Structure 1
Amino acid sequence: MTKKALIFWGGWEGHEPEACSKVVEDMLRAEGFDTRREEGTAVLGEDRLGQYDLIVPVMTQAQVGKDELANLVAAIEAGTGLGGFHGGMGDTFRADPAYQFMVGGQWVAHPGNILDYRIEITRPEDPLVEGIGDFDYRSEQYYLHVDPGIEVLATTTFSGEHAPWTKGTVMPVVWKHRYGQARVFYSALGHVASEFEVPQMKEILRRGLLWAAR
């Protein structure tokens, strides 16, 4: 049976949500998914949201209706997979702890803005990152508040150059976990659409979305 994915996008334009959502849609279609891509949060209030095998938010700093959020959480808890990247999933609904609990973390800062940093794979035997290895990356280095129950697949270490008190802090970059009956995947990489040209970033996200899908 063909798997179905819903991608909803919008919010802060600096993350190029429309362009990024198109890249994700192409990625999933190449894997055989039947995709639906919608701007805004209204789609989250529709009946039968649980018909989707995967939901991908590509939306930053947005507000969501109470009923829309409750419908989304119920669908994920019942088994619809959730997967995404950077602020498009890690800073989607900043005012809603119920959403953040589901994701497993929340963006709070990126000291120094765009800079060079290192990604270290922490579980090289995990199929989501197997064979990829550590790599250098140029983007925002996300500082997140994270759930201690997540399964961390990759980390980055803060130098403290731009926020001295963070020196030596090891921060999760890629993780997975369970929420109710669902699989949830997150990667902090992918500030703008051009970052999909980095093969490690794109491959980790591809594998993660496929894993998260019911």
Structure 2
Amino acid sequence: MRQALVVRGGWEGHAPVQATDLFIPFLEAAGYAVRIESTPEVYADERMPEVDLIVQCYTMGTASREAVAGLRAAIAAGTGMMGWHGGIADSFRASSDYLHLIGGQFATHPSKAPEDLHGDETDNFLPYRVDLVPERSDHPVVAGLESFELTTEQYWVLTDGLCDVLATTTHPAPAWHPWHREVTCPSVWTRQWGEGRICVVTPGHSIDVLEHPTVRTLIERGMTWASR
């Protein structure tokens, strides 16, 4: 059987257990033996070469230098990695080596107008569009899908040119924010790292977003594509 490693934990606001539980049946039905761990220190384990796919949902937190080195080595040797939202794009902020591996880091999720703020997480729930990149429409992760709209956190991410961008989102420039023009960021991207593949989907703040048909399809396809 192929081996999948689910690493979940970190900030509880992203419901890492419930979120990953949504996708474990998909992995099992696809023929994976699923192992679940609650710490990134598993990446330093000598058994990492046996892993075909890592599914990570671990927002913020810390990982030791040895763990990050083990993760980078495993992916370079052919292990795939998939994650969504802060569980992959806002993990281990203190590790530049992790950021280099993933190729994108959460910077912010812009808020509503000041008069619409209530002091809770909904202050950052905005209606926005995820636009598939036409030139990448034949990629297995997005083939046959269409651009779609969500009302949730819209991730502004900092990325580099090694990312193969499959979908983008455009942040407006309302008067209450200090930037002066619209900013388009990657929303879904893939990345080749040695012999391994990485797939990142930035929507996924809450269970209802993960259950959105297109978001769920992107994640399930991303796992399939990234796997060894």
Q: TM-score range by the shorter chain?
A: over 0.9
Which residue is 1:5 aligned to? 4
2:42 is equivalent to residue 29 of structure 1: no
Partner of 1:149, secondary structure, is coil
- 1:1-214 aligned at under 5 Å gives the runs 2-112=1-111, 113-122=124-133, 123-161=136-174, 163-165=177-179, 167-214=181-228
1:111-168 CA-to-partner distances (Å, cap 9, x unmatched) read 1111110011002222211111111111111011101121100001111236341632
| TM-score normalised to structure 2 length | 0.89
Which residue identity does 1:21 align to in structure 2? T
Counterpart CA distance in 2 for 1:67 and 1:39 is 17
* Structure 2 unaligned regions, length at least 5: 112-123
Counterpart CA distance in 1 for 2:211 and 2:57 is 18
User: Identity over the aligned pairs, expressed in percent?
Assistant: 37
Contact 1:21/1:37 (<8 A) preserved: no
Counterpart CA distance in 1 for 2:146 and 2:178 is 28
Counterpart CA distance in 1 for 2:45 and 2:73 is 12
Report how many aligned residue pairs link the two structures.
213
Which residue identity does 1:118 align to in structure 2? R
Counterpart CA distance in 1 for 2:85 and 2:180 is 20
Pair 1:166–1:70, CA change in 2 (3 A): farther
| Per-residue deviation, 1:211 | 0.3
Partner of 1:63, secondary structure, is coil
Counterpart CA distance in 1 for 2:217 and 2:31 is 16
Partner of 1:167, secondary structure, is coil
Counterpart CA distance in 2 for 1:67 and 1:167 is 41
Counterpart CA distance in 1 for 2:30 and 2:180 is 39
Contact 1:110/1:140 (<8 A) preserved: yes
Partner of 1:178, secondary structure, is strand
| TM-score normalised to structure 1 length | 0.95
Q: C-alpha root-mean-square deviation of aligned residues, in Å?
A: 1.3
Which residue is 2:114 aligned to? none
Counterpart CA distance in 1 for 2:2 and 2:180 is 42
Pair 1:166–1:207, CA change in 2 (3 A): farther
Runs of 4 or more above 6 Å deviation? none
1:3-51 CA-to-partner distances (Å, cap 9, x unmatched) read 2110111111111111112112222112221111111223222112111
| Per-residue deviation, 1:201 | 0.1
